[in-house]
Structure 1
Amino acid sequence: VILMATARMRATLDRIRAAGLPAETPAAAVQWATTAAQKTVSATLATLADASALAGIGAPAVIVVGECAGLREHLKWVERTPLFGRTVVVTRSREAAPQFATALRRLGAEVVEFPTIETAPPSSYAALDRAIARLSSPARDSFDWIIFTSATGVESFVERLKSRDRDIRELGRASIAAIGPATAARLADYAIRAAAVPDEYRAEQIIPAIGIKRIRGKRFLIARAEVAREALPEILRDKGAKEVVVAPAYRTVKPKGAQIERMRGLIASGSIDLVTFTSSSTVANFCDLIGASASLLKAAAIGPITAATASERGFEVVVRPGKYTIAALTEAIAEYFAAGNGGT
């Protein structure tokens, strides 16, 4: 195995032959190994230099000489993975990105993590603190339902509850609803079971999940991001809810230190096959950070609201999973490329 030897490849291979290795010994040159740009040339000790020159192999590259190089057709498992050769951008927050990025890498993708959001405390905790204070109020003043719209909302709510020296058992009277399995799973981490989780993971579908009879005349608390769609509160009021309190538990902001110039360079060079979005905020912030060049990209969006935002911003949305989960999004991306989309 010879590292960084492309500049003197011919001379190096000739020296190996002169030392006694047969000219027909299998040999290979691998450029940009383990990345989406990987390119491999298989030949023999005598022909590898010419074959590499013809294929345009350049630095950085690894040269392998020996019988093992002849087994490449049997061993190139990574090149058979669904996303091999694809560069996919993950725009989730630094905290949320690793699981998604790991799943894509296991399918062979080269993943560029470019967080476009991070969480911060809300501008004011006043509304949330007033809501928390009501948890222990008499039944006529407390909440019948608490709705969480994200796993981050669950974490932020619980942290604020603890900071106010309150007890999780104070939620006991209220029923809990979660929009999506990830939110329900985060609630379960705190031993809180969601009584309602919609089959379709969007705000509008929480209504049939709860049921009209359990909405009329009831008091609702929605713990969510500071800036979010108003569809859910409006629908609950329209369906007869007695009170709907929206309490910001966190806000999303653009991250500091984003590698903007690197991302612009990747876009300009045509290196990106797909950019993934998991919320409308990730779309908006990506465009704000990168500029007009973002519209040159194909996108994968986790749900219809996010897809609509991406389309409005000029992206060609080519992947929309049937279920609005990271697992479904990952599977849909693999299926998209396995079907021969996105070029070679």
Structure 2
Amino acid sequence: MGPLDGRRVALTRPAESTDSLRRKLEGMGALVLLTPAIRRAPPTSWGPLDRGIAGVFSGRYAGVLFTSPASVEPFWLRLRSAGGGNASLNGVVIGAVGQGTAAALGRLGICVDVVPGAEYGSALAIAVGSFLGERIRGARFLQPRAEEGREELRGGLESRGAVVEVVAAYRTLRASPAELEPLVANLRAGAVDAVVFASPSAVEAVLAAASSGLGRARAVAIGETTAAALEKAGIDDVWVASRADDEGMASAVVDALRTL
């Protein structure tokens, strides 16, 4: 018997980024419900990202900063399509929020210079400031992110005298209530033991569809930013992964269900 034998765990990540965690949970005995609450789409325009990449080529930026794995691939693909590669990033500080983002960059052979211990944007701003010291003043950074992304990284760096140019690398689209109805029905019936959230957007989508909340299901969050979104929505008991990767989230699910 595994630690999750017979437990029903709902994953709300986009379908394309769920497979590894699903296999890990199933290996622990869980019955996994795949209920993507969000999906990713190209940005409204590639122009801002492409202009940012041209700025990388020209030496405009002191660094490129990533706050999620989702921003890594579109940045890389547009960089490659413009004729660039790893060498284009020589001398550019690369910062990442979370081990998952750092791993996504590492798989492409991109060396990461700064990964804060805490997994939110303001922590990266502090870490980059410490890394550069006095050089942070007037330094210019490129931040590829979701069109509807959070402002904490930019605000943290600008308060230290840096300039941050934010460009959209993708859009996050919520699933419709109809697409989430199977999850909502299972929550209503008490047939879900845990729901795993990997972003505030997924929290917002699920709780907009599930007007009565999560019922008896335990909420598991990938990090503090997602946990804060759950708490803001009135979900008081939230288990937070110690690391923002599949291992950390699987361990958090085990912890959450230990006493259920």
Shift of 1:169: 2.4
Q: CA separation in 1, counterparts of 2:95 and 2:8?
A: 37
Equivalent position SS for 1:135: helix
- Aligned pairs (5 A) from 1:327-342: 327-338=247-258, 341-342=259-260
Shift of the 195–256 alpha-carbon distance from structure 1 to 2, 3 Å rule, reads same
1:94 aligned to 1, 10, 15, which one? 15
Query: Which residue of structure 2 aligns with residue 291 of structure 1?
Result: 210
Q: CA separation in 1, counterparts of 2:168 and 2:244?
A: 23
Query: Does the aligned pair in 2 maintain the 1:264–1:293 contact within 8 Å?
Result: no
Shift of the 94–303 alpha-carbon distance from structure 1 to 2, 3 Å rule, reads same
Shift of 1:257: 9.8
Q: CA separation in 2, counterparts of 1:151 and 1:318?
A: 23
Query: Which residue of structure 2 aligns with residue 205 of structure 1?
Result: 123
Shift of the 204–106 alpha-carbon distance from structure 1 to 2, 3 Å rule, reads same
Query: Does the aligned pair in 2 maintain the 1:132–1:161 contact within 8 Å?
Result: yes
1:303 aligned to 220, 223, 227, which one? 223
Moved more, 298-307 or 224-233: 298-307
Indicate whether 1:263 and 2:222 are aligned.
no
Q: Which amino acid aligns with 2:213?
A: A
Indicate whether 1:312 and 2:232 are aligned.
yes
Shift of the 156–322 alpha-carbon distance from structure 1 to 2, 3 Å rule, reads same
Q: TM-score, normalised by structure 1?
A: 0.69
Shift of 1:295: 4.1
Cα RMSD after superposing both structures: 2.0
2:103 aligned to 171, 185, 196, which one? 185
Q: CA separation in 1, counterparts of 2:170 and 2:11?
A: 22
Residue ranges of structure 1 left out of the alignment (5+ in a row)? 1-77
Shift of the 88–173 alpha-carbon distance from structure 1 to 2, 3 Å rule, reads same
Q: CA separation in 2, counterparts of 1:325 and 1:239?
A: 30
Q: CA separation in 2, counterparts of 1:213 and 1:103?
A: 44
Q: CA separation in 1, counterparts of 2:157 and 2:201?
A: 24
Query: Which residue of structure 1 aligns with residue 171 of structure 2?
Result: 251
Larger RCO (alpha carbons 8 Å, 6+ apart): 2
Cα deviation digits, residues 60-99 of structure 1 (max 9, x gap): xxxxxxxxxxxxxxxxxx3xx2111311110011011111
Equivalent position SS for 2:169: strand
Equivalent position SS for 1:173: coil
Cα deviation digits, residues 129-152 of structure 1 (max 9, x gap): 211111222x4xx10111011112
**Aligned length, in residue pairs:** 256
Q: Looking at CA atoms only, which structure, 1 or 2, has the larger radius of gyration?
A: 1
Q: CA separation in 1, counterparts of 2:175 and 2:21?
A: 19
Residue ranges of structure 2 left out of the alignment (5+ in a row)? none
- What fraction of aligned residue pairs are identical, expressed as a percent? 34
Query: Which residue of structure 2 aligns with residue 226 of structure 1?
Result: 147
Q: TM-score, normalised by structure 2?
A: 0.90
Cα deviation digits, residues 202-235 of structure 1 (max 9, x gap): 1111134221434222111111111111011011
Query: Which residue of structure 1 aligns with residue 39 of structure 2?
Result: 118
